[in-house]
Structure formats: structure tokens, C-alpha cells
Amino acid sequence: MKLRKASALAASVLALTLTATACGSSDDDNGGSGSGNGGGGSDTITIGIKFDQPGLGLKTPDGSFAGFDVDVATYIAGELGYAPEDIVWEETPSPERENLLKRGDVDFIVATYSITDTRKESVDFAGPYFVAHQDLLIRADEEITSESDINDLTLCSVTGSTSAQNVKDDFAPDARLHPFNTYSECLTGLENGTIDALTTDDTILAGYAAQEQNVGKFKLAGLNLSEEHYGVGLQKGSDLRDDINAAIQKMIDEGEWSAAVEKNLGPAGYEAEAAPEITETN
């Protein structure tokens, strides 16, 4: 079922009513804040994505947005009744995802957002819509052949990510971990030699390795260190989950999901798993 936006006539009546009864509003009219509930009949919908993840969520030099997460979010928005030009994209760094949802700054988030029990205590999820695996990005002339090697490395990941937590809790508790706000900062450290490896999901790493300026510099280590189920993040108690799940399933059934994977991740040589079964239903 699509969300229905107010008709032009209804909007005109509402505008006249507000003009007659009030001089202004206490809300910030910046066009970039969501309601946490699908826009609440608004003419726009605000969606959180990453701005610096090639192949997934990237703000391009001309100000447009590209990537698999962008395509998934755009498809979902269309099923909710919003055209691409109705979407307000909100940059969503990993440490801020829960805060953005709790404050209602975004209507939902599609930003390599792994579903975990800890996160589900404060936010809801729809999906999952993708399965990735944690790996390492290393310099092209180096090798890491086993998990035991990781404890001797200086690693970088992003604050608030499951990848950073996995390093501490599971496979490399003795590694020197440097958390940053963005993966781009980690990549700079890897290039200048202050970092031995960038660790996060293989989808993200493949996108960076495939960038024109990085070809031949970096490679994936090829270690499947975890399984990450990407979900659509929602404010706790949001009534959008069923509609978003239906949109994801339709995207899969119609072949649009596979086409988006191939378009965005295929050039990096990434071989994705089949679309996952939707599990976040209550």
C-alpha cells in the first residue's frame, strides 16, 4: 500500500487556513528534516544514506547521489508514493544513525546498516535487503592469510560500526584499532602507511578498491570475518515497516534488486549472495 500525499486542493486549503490563523511556525523550515513516519503526508521524504561510500552511497561532484543503497532507497520511496525529486537525502555517518532516527530527522535509513540485537533495542528495522561479510582492505603488495595475523596489525574502522565492535569483541582483541568518523579518513591512513588495514564490510571495501584513483593500490584480503545483514533503519514504533518490506520484496521479485547489484557492485568484481529472506516483521 502506498502512502498517499495530500492533493493540491487540500494543500491549498491548508495553506489558506494557516495564513489566516498564524503568522509563522516554531519549526525550522530547512527542507531537510523528516518526521520519522514517512513524511506524514509531506511533499518530501527524508532518507538517510552515506555520502562517501562508492558503489553504495556516494555524493558525486555534481551533487547527485549514486550507489546500491541509493537505488534501494529510491525504489522504496517510489512504492511509498514519492518520486525521486521528492527525496531529501540526509548524510548519515555510522555513529549518528540511531540519533537521527530517535530525533525524527529522517524517515528511514538505508546506509549499510547491519541489523543487530543491540540496535534493535533502540530502533526498528525492515528487511534485510542485503548480506555482506566483514573483510580487510590492504595495500596491493601485501598479504594477510589468516585471522591470527590481524592481532599484530594497526586497523582502522568507523566509530559506531559493527566492524569496529567485532574487532574488539571477537577476532582481533589485541589489534590496535583507530576509529574515525568516515571510511574516507581510514583510506587516507592506509595510503600513507599509518594504518595497516581498513576493516569493514566487503561491499564497502570493494567500492573503494574499484575507484579510479585507487585501482592497483589496494585489494581485499579475502577473509569472511562476519555476516552482516543490512536492514532499513526505522524510528522505534514506526508504521512503515510492512510497506518497506513489501517494497523490498517487490524489488527482488521484479529483478530490480539484481540489476541494482550488478550496476553498482559488478564493476568492482564483487559477487553478491542471493537476496536474503525478509525477517524483520515484528
Average pLDDT of the chain is 85
Domain(s) of CATH 3.40.190.10: residues in the chain: 30-131+229-268, 133-227
96 vs 160: CA distance, rounded Å: 8
- For residue 30, the model assigns a pLDDT of 37
- Quick one: what percent of the chain has pLDDT higher than 70? 85
Count the neighbouring beta carbons within 10 Å of the beta carbon of residue 178: 16
CA distances, 24 to each of 28, 64, 96 (Å): 11, 32, 30
| Chain centroid, CA 174 distance in Å | 29
Q: HSE of 45 in the Cβ direction (CA atoms, 13 Å)?
A: 26
Q: Does 84 have pLDDT greater than 50?
A: yes
Do 245 and 69 touch, CB atoms closer than 8 A? no
Which helix (H) or strand (E) is 12 found in, with range?
helix 8-21
Average pLDDT over residues 55-76: 96
Maximum average pLDDT range among 82-86, 201-205, 225-229, 264-268:
82-86
Closest Cα to residue 71, out of 89, 51, 85, 56?
Answer: 56
The reply to whether CATH 3.30.1330.10 applies to domain 30-131+229-268 is no
As to burial, measured by CB atoms within 10 angstroms (0-12 exposed, 13-18 middle, 19+ buried), residue 185 is: middle
Dihedral angle sign, alpha carbons of residues 79, 124, 43, 91: negative
Q: Does 88 have pLDDT greater than 70?
A: yes
- For residue 269, the model assigns a pLDDT of 78
* 3-state SS assignment for residue 154: strand
Angle at 276 between CA 273 and CA 282, to 5 degrees: 160
Write out pLDDT tens, residues 90-100.
999 988 999 99
Which helix (H) or strand (E) is 91 found in, with range?
strand 87-91
255 vs 215: CA distance, rounded Å: 30
225/48: higher pLDDT? 48
- For residue 114, the model assigns a pLDDT of 94
Write out pLDDT tens, residues 167-182.
888 888 888 988 888 8
16 pLDDT band, cuts 50/70/90, is very low
What would the grid cell of residue 176 be? Answer: 590496535
- For residue 99, the model assigns a pLDDT of 96
Do 147 and 223 touch, CB atoms closer than 8 A? yes
Mean pLDDT check: name the lowest of 20-29, 62-71, 111-120: 20-29
38 pLDDT band, cuts 50/70/90, is low
pTM of this prediction?
0.77
24 pLDDT band, cuts 50/70/90, is very low
As to burial, measured by CB atoms within 10 angstroms (0-12 exposed, 13-18 middle, 19+ buried), residue 171 is: middle
- For residue 39, the model assigns a pLDDT of 46
Domain 133-227 is in which class?
Answer: alpha beta
Q: Does 212 have pLDDT greater than 90?
A: no
Dihedral angle, C-alpha 96, 98, 100, 103, nearest 10 °:
-130
Maximum average pLDDT range among 3-17, 32-46, 189-203, 259-273:
189-203
Q: Does 206 have pLDDT greater than 50?
A: yes
